């Protein structure tokens, strides 16, 4: 690197160049980037390195012979750039930074238009657009680094998508009132943008490219995900990033029997299909969809409808690019030299063929690494690999002097005239072309992929010896983990998934914070984990990667259609899929293992589901085939990396539930997709047959460690009685009964989750009593007095339900205060005599007491109570051997406010001594006269046919006399 020196000067024969401005630009455009610096940046770098440099013109100018042309150093290129920048007719920086004029275009999509605008926002980005559908607006920018990064086999593209809460007129519900960590569904949309764009990027372009996308406005009707894919495709097409084709994305819904392009959110509620497709005007690049056992032919029709819509969008975007697009940076593409491919094939040819025939993944990987190291070592020893890591060629610049003036003198034997100094350079020796180590590795990978594809096409055998349609061996077992609610280990070849199912209540549900101001809870979710040990490597173990989130969602959506409804199975279901071994198709192994784990947990699934990954070799003619694409079933990791397609399909014999396709080439057509879908169906049938051989098989019953959930229905207006003030009541019920949780809903649904049946029954009884509907005339026995007030006592007629027994209703006689008759904790019998407009209960004890004896009036209620207690004690002493049955007619209780009691005693006993003071009145009524007795019995006989008879005992629990408590 040159140091900045204000006194330094660059000397170069400037008279070689003509004064024509166009000629200078044409010469400059031929410069290759030096250390990744494009020619347009040379002006600025030269002024920074030497701001006061003096450019001296030599006195004489002589033409060099062609043999004397060598490599230019960086200093000379800076000087050339500075001389061109000094010309007055060259466009200034201010002119170069003038923004494009705003431009907009309407593109028809389905039954409406989308508005695309550019030039009014993000004018300093390489490409920026806003795309509007309804009142949903997506703003997307594309920027790229000035300096290229190190060459790699992975295009340096990063995508970030964010949904601003302000787009829907709200803010984050968390503590920090700004958007933070990317949410899972935003990650999924990032992947939807990335996957179709990546195949269109040209190889050899290593400038880091970043796509940023924001939802600025959301109307709750037009979904932003498909719009974001289209916006990113347009922004890239307008930018300087060199890509092969314009891409666009659409969503396809199946509403009734009609395919709808970009349906609204309301329309999607009744759709049988959710398909998002992206592609170019001639091919499909990416599809991802979920459906409810849709047949393959119906899927193909949906893909065709989506492809037609994408084609129309791409044509409109191409016309926009012609007007507003920037020139692509094709000069920045740097590919490995063609000579390097020949060297690698010559050195590693035979050993590479043998290594690719090794069946097991780890030995094959080690063998390929050994061959790669050997190739690199040989090329280094022979002097073909640069030890500095930068490729150096014998001539770094193209011919720049072909159009120079013919009348200039020629310097003989390479002599250079630099003013007064004459320099005779040493004659150069011929040196071989040098390659960088990175180029060697890139070429080795491409050559390995080429050899693998040739083996599959020519030999008809894959690395593990299978034919293109053959699947790997499959084994599965359930009940692996004794304390888990459900577990399964699914193994297919060298790919293995340990799936665990856990059941819980609503508290285990996953809450989703979205743009719409509504709480959304997922009662089923699948979480996928891919540890580095699954491929025998050392790596980072931390938060889930974008790949893990994407694979987990695919497996989750594949299994969702087979789950029972919440009414039939009121559990929250969580499935964890941990990949313990991986050699391709791990997401589809999660589908198979997850299905078995659900069955082992006792979830009543509708049917079994299997998943399979399909691959492809598109151009078979290159390897001796007839040109027909070759479809591969159940691909491995190496076939995924070296192949042209990764097409995952999940479903059963009848149809498809989920599918996802990524293309590594320019795209595929519908006939190729049809062949892949039909071949995938045959593969699923084979996998389902192997899953049925699972040993041990799924338990198909709830584990004893799974919680018990009981669902009951109450009146919606009674829900608050269960919750209580600030949730105090529901918390007290949980603490008292020992249940895990009680979940209430506004519609009156109550879900009780418990570990055992006894605690569940206790909570059911309490909630039943709390939510019962009392009626006037109901009688409640043995009720506890909870508190005493100056105006009366509060009596608990059922757990959590209290009513007021006014002091005037406590006794048949006058009371100065309630404590004269009762105290807290006493148990009394009461009758419901009134329910006011607020739902408060008014109770009466006096209605159940005998009328005062007119012959023996009691002026002192306390003394009367004491006398009654003595009578009771005396009766208890004399009732040895007695037996009594008391029958009460509830109709008479409500009409006469009195009790008809029939007492059976022995001949020696006296009724007045056998029962309490309360019962004394009853006995008297029965024995007062035979006439009254016979009339009472006749009246009871008439009514006993329609009213229940209730037995009353001294130690009876709280009960509603007038029939059962009404729940809800």
Tell me the CA end-to-end span of the chain in Å, nearest whole number: 85
Cα 560 to Cα 463, 657, 658, 696, 920, distances in angstroms:
35, 8, 10, 25, 69
CA dist 119 and 130 (Å) reads 10
- Position 918 in a domain: no
CA dist 341 and 328 (Å) reads 27
- Of 205-214, 370-379, 937-946, the range with the lowest mean pLDDT is 937-946
Confidence check: pLDDT of 548 > 80 = yes
Whether a cis peptide bond, with omega within 30° of 0, leads into 696 is yes
pTM assigned to the model: 0.72
- pLDDT single digits (tens) 76-130: 333 333 333 333 333 344 434 445 689 999 999 989 999 999 999 999 999 999 9
- Position 22 in a domain: no
* Residue 587's pLDDT band (cuts 50, 70, 90): very high
- pLDDT single digits (tens) 746-760: 899 999 999 999 999
263 and 357 housed in the same domain = no
From 592, 610, 602, select the one nearest 498 (Cα to Cα): 592
674 and 531 housed in the same domain = yes
DSSP class per residue in 639-656: HHHHSSEEEEEEE-SS-E
Q: How many domains does the chain have?
A: 5
Tokens matching residue 698: 């799924």
- Position 841 in a domain: yes
CATH of residue 450's domain is 1.10.10.400
Domain closes at, from 848, 881, 901: 848
- pLDDT single digits (tens) 475-514: 999 999 999 999 999 999 999 999 999 999 888 988 887 7
- Please give the mean pLDDT across all residues of the chain: 78
Count, residues in the chain: 968
504 and 590 housed in the same domain = yes
If one counts every other C-beta atom within 10 angstroms of the C-beta of residue 884, the result is 16
- Position 622 in a domain: yes
CB 305 within 8 A of CB 261: yes
621 and 684 housed in the same domain = yes
809 and 763 housed in the same domain = no
655 and 686 housed in the same domain = yes
Q: What is the mean pLDDT of residues 794-821?
A: 88
CATH of residue 833's domain is 2.40.50.140
Confidence check: pLDDT of 687 > 90 = yes
Task: Give residues with Cβ within 8 angstroms of 934, minimum separation 6.
Answer: none
Question: What is residue 948's predicted lDDT score, i.e. its pLDDT?
Answer: 35
CATH of residue 192's domain is 3.30.230.70
Question: What is residue 623's predicted lDDT score, i.e. its pLDDT?
Answer: 84
- Position 195 in a domain: yes
378 and 516 housed in the same domain = no
535 and 656 housed in the same domain = yes
- Position 113 in a domain: yes
Question: What is residue 633's predicted lDDT score, i.e. its pLDDT?
Answer: 96
Would you state the torsion angle of the CA atoms of residues 192, 217, 524, 746, taken in this order, to the nearest 10 degrees? -170
Question: What is residue 426's predicted lDDT score, i.e. its pLDDT?
Answer: 55
Confidence check: pLDDT of 325 > 80 = yes
CATH of residue 728's domain is 3.30.1370.10
- pLDDT single digits (tens) 430-460: 445 678 888 899 999 999 999 999 989 988 8
- Position 556 in a domain: yes
Confidence check: pLDDT of 70 > 70 = no
Question: What is residue 136's predicted lDDT score, i.e. its pLDDT?
Answer: 96
CB 769 within 8 A of CB 965: yes
- Of 288-292, 656-660, 685-689, 714-718, the range with the lowest mean pLDDT is 714-718
535 and 550 housed in the same domain = yes
Confidence check: pLDDT of 384 > 90 = no
* Residue 852's pLDDT band (cuts 50, 70, 90): low
583 and 522 housed in the same domain = yes
- Position 904 in a domain: no
Tokens matching residue 690: 């192997």
Beta strands in 29-135 (DSSP E): 62-64, 103-109, 112-118, 127-133
Beta strands in 110-168 (DSSP E): 112-118, 127-133, 136-144, 157-163
Question: What is residue 371's predicted lDDT score, i.e. its pLDDT?
Answer: 94
The range of the structural domain enclosing residue 795 comes to 778-848
Domain closes at, from 642, 666, 693: 693
3-state secondary structure of 913: helix
Question: What is residue 296's predicted lDDT score, i.e. its pLDDT?
Answer: 94
683 and 814 housed in the same domain = no
590 and 491 housed in the same domain = yes
CA dist 493 and 592 (Å) reads 14
């Amino acid at each position: 690197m040159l140091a900045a020196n204000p006194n330094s000067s660059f000397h170069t024969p400037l008279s070689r160049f003509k004064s024509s401005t166009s000629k200078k630009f044409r010469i400059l455009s031929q410069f290759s980037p030096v250390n990744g610096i494009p020619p347009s940046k040379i002006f600025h770098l030269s002024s920074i390195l030497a701001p006061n440099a003096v450019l001296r013109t030599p006195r004489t100018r002589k033409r060099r012979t062609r043999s004397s042309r060598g490599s230019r150093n960086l200093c000379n290129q800076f000087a050339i750039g500075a001389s061109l920048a000094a010309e007055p007719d060259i466009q200034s920086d201010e002119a170069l930074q003038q923004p494009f004029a705003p431009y907009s275009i309407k593109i028809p999509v389905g039954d409406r238009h989308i508005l695309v605008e550019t030039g009014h926002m993000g004018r300093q980005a390489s490409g920026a657009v806003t795309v509007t559908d309804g009142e949903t607006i997506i703003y997307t920018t594309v920027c790229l680094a000035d300096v290229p990064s190190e060459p790699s086999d992975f295009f340096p593209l990063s995508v970030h998508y964010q949904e601003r809460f302000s787009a829907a007129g709200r803010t984050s519900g968390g503590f920090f009132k700004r958007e933070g960590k990317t949410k899972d569904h935003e990650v999924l949309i990032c992947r939807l943008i990335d996957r179709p764009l990546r195949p269109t990027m040209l190889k050899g372009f290593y400038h880091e490219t970043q796509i940023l996308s924001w939802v600025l406005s959301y109307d709750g009707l037009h979904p932003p995900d498909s719009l974001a894919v289209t916006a990113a495709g347009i922004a890239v097409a307008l930018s300087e990033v060199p890509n092969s084709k314009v891409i666009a994305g659409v969503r396809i819904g199946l509403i009734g029997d009609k395919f709808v392009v970009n349906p609204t959110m309301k329309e999607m509620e009744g759709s049988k299909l959710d398909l998002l497709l992206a592609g170019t005007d001639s091919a499909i690049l990416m599809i991802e969809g979920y459906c409810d056992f849709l047949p393959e032919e119906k899927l193909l029709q949906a893909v065709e409808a989506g492809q037609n819509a994408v084609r129309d969008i791409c044509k409109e975007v191409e016309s926009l690019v012609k007007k507003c697009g920037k020139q692509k940076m094709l000069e920045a593409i740097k590919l490995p030299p063609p000579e390097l491919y020949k060297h690698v094939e010559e050195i590693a040819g035979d050993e590479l063929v043998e290594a690719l025939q090794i069946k097991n993944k780890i030995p094959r990987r080690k063998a390929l690494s050994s061959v790669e190291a050997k190739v690199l070592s040989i090329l280094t020893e022979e002097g073909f690999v640069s030890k500095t890591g930068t490729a150096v060629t014998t001539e770094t610049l193209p011919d720049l002097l072909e159009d120079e003036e013919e009348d200039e003198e020629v310097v003989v034997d390479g002599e250079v005239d630099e003013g007064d100094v004459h320099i005779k350079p040493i004659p150069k020796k011929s040196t071989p072309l040098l390659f960088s180590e990175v180029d060697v590795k890139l070429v080795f990978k491409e050559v390995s992929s080429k050899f693998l594809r040739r083996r599959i096409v020519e030999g008809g055998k894959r690395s593990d010896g299978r034919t293109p349609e053959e699947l790997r061996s499959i084994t599965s077992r359930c009940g692996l983990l004794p304390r888990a609610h459900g577990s399964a280990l699914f193994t297919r070849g060298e790919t293995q998934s340990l799936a665990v199912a856990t059941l819980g209540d609503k508290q285990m549900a996953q809450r989703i914070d979205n743009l719409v101001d509504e709480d959304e809870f997922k009662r089923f979710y699948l979480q996928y984990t891919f540890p580095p040990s699954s491929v025998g490597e050392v790596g980072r173990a931390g938060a889930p990667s974008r790949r893990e989130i994407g694979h987990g969602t695919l497996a989750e959506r594949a299994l969702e259609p087979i789950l029972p409804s919440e009414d039939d199975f009121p559990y929250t279901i969580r499935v964890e899929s941990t990949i313990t071994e991986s050699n391709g198709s791990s997401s589809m192994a999660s589908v198979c293992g997850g299905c078995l784990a659900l069955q082992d947990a006792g979830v009543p699934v509708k049917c079994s589901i299997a998943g399979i990954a399909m691959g492809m070799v598109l151009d078979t003619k290159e390897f001796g085939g007839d040109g027909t694409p070759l479809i591969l079933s159940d691909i491995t990791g190496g076939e995924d990396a070296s192949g042209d397609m990764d097409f995952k399909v999940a479903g059963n014999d009848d149809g498809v539930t989920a599918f996802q396709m990524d293309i590594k080439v320019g795209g595929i057509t519908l006939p190729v997709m049809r062949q892949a879908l039909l071949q995938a169906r045959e593969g699923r049938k084979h996998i389902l047959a192997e899953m049925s051989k699972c040993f041990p098989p799924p338990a198909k019953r709830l584990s004893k460690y799974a919680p018990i959930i009981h669902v009951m229905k109450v009146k919606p207006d009674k829900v608050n009685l269960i919750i209580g003030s600030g949730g105090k009541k529901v918390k007290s019920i949980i603490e008292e009964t020992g249940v895990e949780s009680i979940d209430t809903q506004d519609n009156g649904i109550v879900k009780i989750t418990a570990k055992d049946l006894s605690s569940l029954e206790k909570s059911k009884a309490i909630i039943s009593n709390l939510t019962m509907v009392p009626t006037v005339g109901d009688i409640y026995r043995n009720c506890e007095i909870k508190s005493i007030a100056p105006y009366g006592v509060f009596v608990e007629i059922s757990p959590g339900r209290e009513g007021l027994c006014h002091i005037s209703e406590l006794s048949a006689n006058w009371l100065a205060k309630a404590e004269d008759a009762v105290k807290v904790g006493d148990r009394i019998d009461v009758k419901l005599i009134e329910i006011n407009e607020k739902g408060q209960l008014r109770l009466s004890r006096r209605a159940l007491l005998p009328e005062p004896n007119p012959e023996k009036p009691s002026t002192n209620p306390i003394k009367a109570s004491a006398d009654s207690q003595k009578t009771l004690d005396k009766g208890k002493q004399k009732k040895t051997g007695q037996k009594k049955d008391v029958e009460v007619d509830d109709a008479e209780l409500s009409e006469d406010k009195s009790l008809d009691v029939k007492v059976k005693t022995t001949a020696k006993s006296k009724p007045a001594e056998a029962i309490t003071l309360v019962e004394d009145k009853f006995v008297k009524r029965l024995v007062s006269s035979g006439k009254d007795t016979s009339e009472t019995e006749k009246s009871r006989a008439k009514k006993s046919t329609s009213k229940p008879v209730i037995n009353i005992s001294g130690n009876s629990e709280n009960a509603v006399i007038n029939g059962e408590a009404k729940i809800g």
